[in-house]
Amino acid sequence: MKLFRKLSIAAYFLGWIVSPLLVLIIFFGNGLLLVLVLGLIPGLTLSASLGIFISIPLSWKLTRYLYGIAYSFYKNNGGTIPRSTIDTLARIWHIAIYLFLFSKSLEQGMEIKNPPPSRARVAIASIVKTCAVKEANGEVNPIFEIPKLYQYSIMPLDGNCNGDENNLITAISTKASKYPTYAIHMETFEKTCSHDGPNEELHGCSAKLGGKW
Q: Report the pLDDT value the prediction gives residue 119, as an integer from 0 to 100.
A: 93
Q: Report the pLDDT value the prediction gives residue 52, as an integer from 0 to 100.
A: 53
Q: What are the DSSP E strand ranges found in the chain? A: 152-155, 168-173, 181-185, 191-194, 211-212
Task: Check the CA dihedral 112-114-119-121 and report its sign.
Answer: positive
3-state class (DSSP) for residue 152: strand
**In the Cβ-directed half-sphere of 82, how many Cα atoms lie within 13 Å?**
3
Closest alpha carbon to 208 in 182, 180, 184: 180
Q: Structural domain boundaries of the chain?
A: 2-113, 116-212
How far from the centroid of its chain's Cα atoms is residue 56's Cα?
21
Torsion of CA 56, 62, 64, 68, to 10 degrees: -170
Cα gap 151→125, rounded to integer Å: 17
Residue of 131 and 72 predicted with greater confidence? 131
Strand duo 181-185 + 152-155: pairing = unpaired
Residues in a beta bridge with 155: 170
3-state class (DSSP) for residue 134: helix
Closest alpha carbon to 213 in 128, 144, 122: 122
3-state class (DSSP) for residue 29: helix
Could you tell me the pLDDT band of residue 83, with boundaries at 50, 70 and 90?
A: confident
Closest alpha carbon to 73 in 19, 11, 13, 16: 11
Q: Report the pLDDT value the prediction gives residue 55, as an integer from 0 to 100.
A: 56
The answer to whether residue 15 scores a pLDDT higher than 60 is no
Q: Report the pLDDT value the prediction gives residue 38, as an integer from 0 to 100.
A: 47
pTM for the complete prediction? Answer: 0.56
The answer to whether residue 7 scores a pLDDT higher than 70 is no
